[in-house]
Structure formats: C-alpha cells, structure tokens
Amino acid sequence: METFRREAREWLEANCPLSMRTRMIPGEEINGGNKRRSSHPDACLWLERMATRGWTAPTWPVEFGGGGLGKAEFLILLEEMQRINARPPLGGMGITMIGPTLLEYGTEEQKQRHLPPIVRGEIAWCQGYSEPGAGSDLASLQTRAEDQGDHYLVNGSKIWTSGAQHADWIFCLVRTDTKAPKHEGISFLLFSMDSPGVTVKPITLLNGESPFCQTFFDNVQVPKRDLVFRENQGWTVAKRLLQHERSGLAALASADTAGPLDRIKPSTSLGELAKQYAGSATITDQALRHDIVANEMKKRAYLLTQARAVAENEANTPGAATSIFKFVEAEYVKEQLEIQNRIRGTQAFGWEGDAFSEEELRMCRLNLEAKSISIAGGSNEIQLNIIAKRVLGLPD
C-alpha cells in the first residue's frame, strides 16, 4: 500500500493544477456533458487527466473505464487528494447514482455503452422520479410506458427534475402495468433527453435561479434494450438508486466540494462570529453558547456518520447509514443557519445593497436554498420511516 501511496502522491502533485487545489465554488464544478461547462478553465484539464487513470470512478472495474481500486487503495487516493486539497474532478448523477446502479442491475451491453462515457464526463444525467401527483408517495407515479413490441411509448411528466435543461440522458420511473399493485407495476428506463417528444421547462425559484425543471413526455420511443433489470420490477432498482444517491451525498461532502455542509460554513467559527457581531471578547448569551456547543457536537456525529456512509458506498453496499446521514445533514444545516441568523440579526436578511457584506448576501440566499435539503432526495419524514423500519425493525 505504501508503494501505491507514493505513486498516487507523485502523480497528483504532477497532474493536479494549482487552481484545482482550492475550495470548490458553485459554477466551477463539472457534472458531465457539454450543455453546461465549468466556468473554470482548468476544470476540464483536471477531469481529462483523472479520467485517463480511471480515477473519476476509482473503484469501478477497469473494463468500464474505472480505476479498479480496492477499498484500501481508494481510501489512500482520497487521503492524498485531501492532502493537497484537490477538488473532485467529476460530480453529478452519472458518477454518484446511475453508474453504481448499472454496475449492480445493468446488462453487460448497458454497462459497456453507458459507463465509460460517464467516467470520461461526456454525458450528464438527470433523474425522472417525482411527478406533480407523486412526491413523497413516489409509487403513485402515473407516467406510463406502453409496450410497442421492440420499444416502449412513454407519456406523462416529471417535476423537480434537477438539471434537466443541461442533461443528455434521463433515468426514469414509468408505470408499465396499471392493474398491478402500485409498487409492482413500475419499470426503470433510460433514454436520451434529445428524443423526439421530450420537452423541458425550467422552474424559476424565489431566488431567481432555475435548478429544477418540469419535463414532459409525449409519445417518446424508448428501445427495450434500455429497460434496466426486469419489466415491472423497477421499484427494486429505484430504491437501490436512492441509497446510492444518499451515500453519494456523503462521499461528496467528505471532499472539499460546494455541497450543503461546506457552503453554509461562515468565514470563521460560530463562536468567533458571535463575538464579532456582539463586539465583545466573550459570548454573554448563555443560551447561544449552549446552542453553539450542541451544534458542534452534532457536526462531529455527522462526520462520523458520513464516514460510515462513504465506506458503504465504496463497498457498493449502501445501507441504513445512508438514510441516517441524509437526515442528520438536513437537521444540522437547518440548525447551523438558524444560529447564524440569530448571531447576525437583521444583517442575515440582506438581499442587496452596500449595507451588507458579501458573506451576508451569500448566506441570505443560502437560507432560501437550504430549506429544500430536508425534502430533496427523500423528505426527512421518509428518512425517519426508513430508519424506523430497516434499522430499528419497527412494524408499519
């Protein structure tokens, strides 16, 4: 292992641009595809170099473009990247969600066709799960896929489709048997976003951004070779993918990314921030002191849970820790921002103007965005149900 560590360290030192050894900034990340490129000129170079080694997907098999690393080697690579503060070369749903799912459920042909382009960052993926009438109760979805012999004909719509306007392909849950119990009549399809009949409409949020879309399907033809696993058994695939999604969040959060935990951090500690805004060398508000300490303890627990989820993900066995991680993250982010708001007072709610610092303006927008963390990827209530049933073994 020491030989691999030495070789990895030397390679990273020689190939990671200095500009890629800084904290990730929103807009500079690469999630694959060509419809939205990183705003940083060295990001593509870093991706190309890492993809050549298969290190954009270090533990994936070499035959599918991955690095073929074992768990011990992967952890060493991660440590060496963290040592020089190297950014992850590639993110997005291809690497964290559909790729690991295809490794487990895809046919050999599907793996050969889809995985290498994901590793190289050539294809961006989006997720077709939620519908206007099927959110937390996802199995109530109504998008239909009719059997037409050699292909399916898909009609319906999906909502809150993250990054659909930039995606090349979609993995989509559809109903293939309307008479079966709702969990048993669902199939898992893959198809191009450029297919005739696909329409994407971005949804503008309160903060003016449009990270989500509503996606419409009007007689979209999907070849049967892009059915993952078996017809009417897509719910099994869907649940597994959600585990990869949640554990993928942990893996991203463990690196220096622009993820929820990293983005809500103030420029200094909460304690120092409180002293700064109070204009005092000490924190006299006892309740605030208590909450700051409690939040720091929750952060320590979060990081330990995160490490478990990352280990499960890399072993391709995401389990209960993934739901625990998702819930703890949402609660931690909410409490962190609430404490920052208490410290800053009215300065926490500046939208524009010279009366507010750059960090205050940034945090105001993050306050709006952070409300979605307890919903995205499965609401907190859903996570608690999963923990109750799968971890604690409680009855329905």
Residue 264 sits in the same domain as residue 217? no
Distance CA 48, CA 65 (A): 12
Q: Give domain status of residue 243, yes or no.
A: no
CA dihedral over 149, 150, 155, 157, signed as positive or negative: positive
Give residue-wise pLDDT tens across range 343-386: 999 999 888 899 999 888 888 888 877 777 787 777 888 888 87
Q: What is the mean pLDDT of residues 8-20?
A: 97
Q: If residue 171 lies in a helix (H) or strand (E), which one and from where to where?
A: strand 169-175
Higher pLDDT, 246 or 65: 65
Q: What is residue 264's predicted lDDT score, i.e. its pLDDT?
A: 59
Please state whether beta strands 144-147 and 125-128 pair in parallel, antiparallel, or not at all (unpaired).
Answer: unpaired
pLDDT > 80? residue 130: yes
Domain-embedded: residue 248: no
Same domain? For 87 and 177 the reply is: no
Which of 28, 80, 245, 369 does the annotation list as catalytic?
Answer: 245
Quote the CA–CA distance of 137 and 180 in Å, as a whole number: 16
- Give the DSSP letter of residue 145: E
CATH of the domain at 340: 1.20.140.10
Give the domain-ending residue among 119, 135, 170.
119
Q: What is the pLDDT of residue 310?
A: 66
Query: Are 165 and 35 a contacting pair, CB within 8 Å?
Result: yes
Residue 157 has pLDDT above 80, yes or no: yes
Q: Tell me what percent of the residues of the chain surpass a pLDDT of 70.
A: 89
Q: Is the pLDDT of residue 265 over 80?
A: no
Average pLDDT over residues 322-330: 76
112 near 118, Cβ under 8 Å? no
Total domains, the chain: 3
Q: Work out whether the CA dihedral 226, 232, 234, 236 comes out positive or negative.
A: negative
The predicted-structure confidence for 86-102, as pLDDT tens digits, reads as follows 999 999 999 999 999 99
- Clarify whether residues 287 and 215 are in a common domain: no
- Each residue's pLDDT tens digit, 284-309: 899 999 999 998 888 888 777 776 66
Q: pLDDT value at position 30?
A: 87
Q: Among the three residues 72, 88, 119, which one is the final residue of a domain in this structure? A: 119
Answer whether residue 396 shows pLDDT above 50.
yes
Look up the CATH number of the domain holding residue 83. 1.10.540.10
Q: Are residues 380 and 334 in the same domain?
A: yes
Lowest mean pLDDT among 116-125, 134-143, 211-220, 306-315: 306-315
Top-confidence residue, 193 or 306: 193
- Tokens found for residue 265: 């951090």
Do residues 287 and 273 share a domain? yes
Asked whether the predicted pLDDT for residue 135 surpasses 90, the reply is no
Question: Is the distance from CB of 145 to CB of 186 less than 8 angstroms?
Answer: no
| CA–CA distance, 214 with 220 (Å, rounded to integer) | 16
Quick check: is 100 in a domain? yes
Same domain, 151 and 99: no
User: What radius of gyration do the chain's Cα atoms show?
Assistant: 22
Amino acid identity, position 142? Q
Query: What is the reported pLDDT for 256?
Result: 41
Has residue 241 been placed in a domain?
no
Same domain, 270 and 380: yes
Mean pLDDT of the chain: 88
* Residue 88: partners with Cβ closer than 8 Å, 6 or more residues away: 24, 29, 81, 252, 255, 257
Identify the DSSP state of 164.
G
CATH for 198: 2.40.110.10
Is residue 226 domain-shared with residue 321, that is, in the same domain? no
Domain presence at residue 250: no
Element (H, E) at 218: strand 212-223
Structural domain includes residue 252: no
Q: Do 298 and 312 lie in a common domain?
A: yes
97 and 145, same structural domain? Answer: no
Question: Is the same domain home to 61 and 174?
Answer: no
Instruction: Judge whether 287 lies within some domain.
Output: yes
What domain range is 81 assigned to?
Answer: 2-119
* pLDDT tens-digit map of 102-120: 999 999 999 999 999 999 9
Q: What's the CA gap between 231 and 81, in Å, rounded?
A: 41
CA-CA distances (angstroms) from residue 145 to 130, 169, 227, 292? 16, 17, 11, 51
Asked if pLDDT for residue 253 goes beyond 60, the answer is no
For residues 124-152, give the mean pLDDT: 94
Question: 199 lies in a domain?
Answer: yes
Residue 299 makes CB contacts below 8 A (sequence gap 6+) with 332
Residue 8 has what pLDDT? 97
pLDDT at 323: 67
Residues 50 and 7: their CA atoms lie apart, in Å, by 14
User: Looking up tokens 């870093």, which residue turns up?
Assistant: 46
Q: What is the pLDDT of residue 55?
A: 97
Same domain for 106 and 134?
no
d(CA 96, CA 22): 22
Which of 9-13, 64-68, 136-140, 176-180 shows the lowest per-residue confidence on average (mean pLDDT)?
A: 136-140
Determine the pLDDT at residue 263.
59
Q: Which of 98, 119, 140 is the last residue of a domain?
A: 119
pLDDT tens, residue by residue, 22-53: 877 777 788 888 777 777 889 999 999 999 99
For the cut 90, the answer to whether the pLDDT of residue 165 exceeds it is yes
Q: Whose structure tokens read 């030495």? A: 6
Active site (annotated) includes residue 245: yes
Q: What is the mean pLDDT of residues 119-123?
A: 96
To 10 degrees, what angle do helices 320-344 and 234-254 make? 50
